[in-house]
Amino acid sequence: MEITLYHYLTVGAILFSLGLYAMISRKNAIMILMGIELILNACNLNFIAFSKYGGLGVDGQLISIFVILLAVAEAAIALAIVLNIYNNFNTANIDEVDSMKD
């Protein structure tokens, strides 16, 4: 059976859903970050699939490069924030960080 665009898009959709699940269901901030990474990878996979099958060409790959770049920046900043939260609240679980609620 020939591999088509739909196969890749399906894998992307599965990864996206799993990432979303990790973001919603886990309370450790680092797990949420991993969920974000999965989602970004899913979208990268879609871009590159389109670059081959959708006639996007090298442009799709360039967009993926910029996505990876933003992921790097995001990971660095987010981890710095997580470390800060940990230093201030002594926990990395974000459901315990709710001092603005009341």
| Ranges within 55-84 binding other proteins (CB under 8 A) | 55, 57-59, 61-62, 64-66, 68-77, 79-84
According to the binding rule CB under 8 A, does residue 43 interact with other proteins? no
According to the binding rule CB under 8 A, does residue 88 interact with other proteins? no
The answer to whether the beta carbons of residues 19 and 44 sit under 8 Å apart is: no
According to the binding rule CB under 8 A, does residue 31 interact with other proteins? yes
Cα–Cα distance, 94 to 31 (Å, whole number):
11
Shortest distance in whole angstroms from residue 36 CB to other proteins = 10
CA nearest to 76, candidates 39, 46, 37: 37
